[in-house]
Structure 1
Amino acid sequence: MAERYSSFRPGGRRWLWQRITAAFLVVVLAFHFFLLHFIYHADEVTFALSSARMESWAYYSLMILFLVTATFHGVNGVYNALINQGLKGTKRTIIKWTLIVASVILIVQGVRTANAWAGITILPF
């Protein structure tokens, strides 16, 4: 009989956060799908309309939280899948730090994009 193996420790926080972020993503994706496919149709979605939505702090905050949550969920899932495949030692460390750096870059660029859409200027670049 096959033995179940997972890189998540029973009762561990990474396992719990993977489930919490999954539940949050299901709700936010349903909201996104409903808003952009039933309220507004594809031919009605414009940059100006998206910018107007991003000017609302509630919508802006939700999109930033969505960005961070999706990034964590995806990177955590990929990292643990690689560990389940037997990634160990130096390769594991290199992959871990590569994923962390890629996540930071993705989040920083996503926030910069959201700020541009919302008309928020924080940094001069």
Structure 2
Amino acid sequence: MAAETSGAPTSFERGGWGWLFQRITAAFLIVVLAFHFFLLHFYHHAYEITFAGTSARMSQVGYFATMWLFLVTATFHGVNGIYNAMVNQGIKGIQKRAAQGILGLAGVLLVVQGTRVALAMTDLV
């Protein structure tokens, strides 16, 4: 049974861009997470992972782009999921606006810091 909402549908209700992007990011995350686990947990074993190896992988433009997209999509998917769970629980008014602002800021800060760390691990800049 879907929660009653006023206005635009949430990501948990069919229709709308939020619903579509939540599904697209989920599909992308499944594929990239499988790649990540295969590469860093099966192909390379934990004892083989070094900073130098990470730097070498992150210095490859394709790998860097994939990991950066992983960061951005995981952040969107998580923040959007938390926000929509709160909306479905009945958050309204000023609390809803505060949640949008806080979660939006947290998402931006996470992507900025993740990008800084990713760039620090490369020789691309």
Taking every aligned residue pair, what percent have the same amino acid on both sides? Answer: 56
- Equivalence for 1:19: 23
Q: Distance in 1 between matches of 2:50 and 2:27?
A: 29
Q: Distance in 2 between matches of 1:26 and 1:71?
A: 14
RMSD of Structure 2 on Structure 1 (CA):
1.2
Kindly state the Cα deviation for residue 5 of structure 1 after the two structures are TM-superposed.
2.4
Kindly state the Cα deviation for residue 38 of structure 1 after the two structures are TM-superposed.
1.2
Bigger relative contact order, structure 1 or 2, given CA contacts below 8 A and separation 6+? 1
AA matched with 1:62 = T
Deviates more, 1:54-63 or 1:3-12: 3-12
Give the length in aligned residue pairs. Answer: 119
Q: Distance in 2 between matches of 1:96 and 1:86?
A: 14
Gap runs ≥5 in structure 1 = none
- For the pair 1:47 / 2:51, whether they are aligned, the reply is yes
Taking structure 1 as the reference length, what is the TM-score of the superposition?
A: 0.91
Gap runs ≥5 in structure 2 = 5-9
Kindly state the Cα deviation for residue 11 of structure 1 after the two structures are TM-superposed.
1.5
- For the pair 1:4 / 2:2, whether they are aligned, the reply is yes
Runs (4+) of structure 1 exceeding 4 A deviation are: none
Instruction: Map 1:6-85 to 2 at 5 A.
Output: 7-8=10-11, 9-85=13-89
Kindly state the Cα deviation for residue 10 of structure 1 after the two structures are TM-superposed.
3.2
Taking structure 2 as the reference length, what is the TM-score of the superposition?
A: 0.91
